[in-house]
Amino acid sequence: MNRLRTQVAIVGAGPAGLLLSHLLHQQGVESVVLERRSRQYVEQRVRAGLLEHGSVQVLRDAGLAGRLDRQALHHDGLELRVDGQRHRLNVTRLAGCSTYVYGQQELVKDLIAAREEAGGQIWFEVDDVVPELSHDGPSTVRCTLDGQPTEISCDFVAGCDGFHGVTRPSIPEGHLTTYDRTYPSAWLGVLAAAPPASEELVYAVHERGFALASMRSPEVSRLYLQVEEGDSVDNWPDDRIWKELHARLSVTGEAELTEGPILEKSVVALRSFVAEPMQHGPLFLAGDAAHIVPPTAAKGLNLAVEDVTVLSEAFHAWYSDGDRALLDGYSDRRLPSIWEAEEFSDWMAGLLHRPPEGDRYGARLQRARLDAVVNSPASGRQFAERYVGLARQYAGGERSGQRTP
């Protein structure tokens, strides 16, 4: 058996695990990253790419934003389309911060390259990962590495391995409380070789259902349609997709959406999930291993960046000063922000999605909320602050130092 030693064993080579490893390296803390999938799979896995200003600043401060700053699409606002009418919200003017579109797979490539340049240890196609947690000594992560049984001794385990990973289930029964919600709609996601419908994101509310027009580059669009829960891509040939996009994204008196070859399509279920606490002994959860938000507000990647930024600071305090206060308080510090993002994402789902058939009351409430966002400066400002992530700075009273009960 191979026997290795590190300070922090990180399970999962998504943005959370890779960024945590890099931040720890910059603070002089050793880590290894274990990933079940191949490098090719990880680098090509398409996920949402809307980054808040705060996330971009973390990447800049860590020296990881060179390619992002050259290639990311910078957005000062967004567009709501309701009944064929445009309503633009300038979130930079309303909230003082902007957003950026940069494919998550591109960020992953940047992070892997940075870790390799710094001599970091990232192992792909690692099988049979089993965390064995110890509260009074080194913990162990057992796995199969390059076909060989391997035992990694470590002080801490960081679970960055997603909702279906192995780290969260390693917490003994009775030590974790979970909260979840499944939504009655799903999203059909499409990647198309077509120019974006707009220079900024377009959120379209329509009687046929919600549609979102996003982008990956000036030549590639990322498009979404609200569909029924449990729907299948087999029900959506390309011509039906374009027909529905034209109908939901149309603007009265303006040119139609430009079509192009559809490169990928998939159906994404909408769900919310939070695990409390986000830690157990030497195990700390981050990103999708601890929480999932529906994609309506694109908060998942940004929450993961926040998680590992806070966690890296806690590890640094422990290894530099022997101070466990930040480690012990990790979950309490993160959960108010996470629940703020969960609530906003849930509210966005209600704002944008077609209500259930026959729910006339729900439809009228939706219209009242849309009217407030597009017509009330106060409501628009509140929306903008939540959309760019500023509201999370105040969650739990953390910014003012006055934590709420």
Residue entry with tokens 């994204």:
249
Between β-strands 50-52 and 85-89, what pairing exists: parallel, antiparallel or unpaired? unpaired
Specify whether 387 is catalytic: yes
Q: Which residue of the set 15, 196, 282, 295 is catalytic?
A: 295
3-state secondary structure the chain: CEEEECCEEEECCCHHHHHHHHHHHHCCCCEEEECCCCHHHHHHCCCCCEEEHHHHHHHHHCCCCHHHHHHCEEECCEEEEECCEEEEECHHHHHCCCEEECCHHHHHHHHHHHHHHCCCEEECCCEEEEEECCCCCCEEEEEEECCEEEEEEECEEEECCCCCCCCHHHCCCCCCEEEEEEEEEEEEEEEECCCCCCCCCEEEECCCCCEEEEEEECCEEEEEEEEECCCCHHHCCHHHHHHHHHHHHCCCCCCCCCCCCEEEEEEEEEEEEEEECCEECCEEECHHHCEECCHHHCCHHHHHHHHHHHHHHHHHHHHHHCCCHHHHCHHHHHHHHHHHHHHHHHHHHHHHCCCCCCCHHHHHHHHHHHHHHHHCHHHHHHHHHHHCCHHHHHHHHCCCCCCCC
Specify whether 75 is catalytic: yes
Q: Which residue of the set 299, 316, 319, 330 is catalytic?
A: 299
Q: Which residue of the set 25, 53, 75, 291 is catalytic?
A: 75
The two most distant CA atoms of the chain are separated, in Å, by: 70
Q: Which residue of the set 25, 53, 100, 203 is catalytic?
A: 203
Residue 357: the pLDDT is 86
Q: Nearest 5 degrees, angle CA 239-CA 244-CA 247? A: 130
Domains, in order of start, for the chain: 2-75+98-179+271-354 (3.50.50.60), 183-270 (3.30.9.10)
Residue 398: the pLDDT is 55
Specify whether 203 is catalytic: yes
pLDDT tens series, the chain, 405 aa: 899 999 999 999 999 999 999 999 999 999 999 999 999 999 988 777 899 999 999 999 999 999 999 999 999 999 999 988 999 999 999 999 999 999 899 999 999 999 999 999 999 999 999 999 998 889 999 999 999 999 999 999 999 999 999 999 999 999 999 999 999 999 999 999 999 999 999 999 999 999 999 998 889 999 999 999 999 999 999 999 999 999 999 998 777 789 999 999 999 999 999 999 999 999 999 999 999 999 999 999 999 999 999 999 999 999 999 999 999 999 999 999 999 999 999 999 999 999 988 899 999 999 999 999 999 999 999 999 999 999 998 886 654 333 332
Report the distance separating Cα 22 and Cα 29, nearest Å: 9
Specify whether 243 is catalytic: no
- Residue type at 283 in one-letter notation: L
Residue 397: the pLDDT is 61
Residue 403: the pLDDT is 35
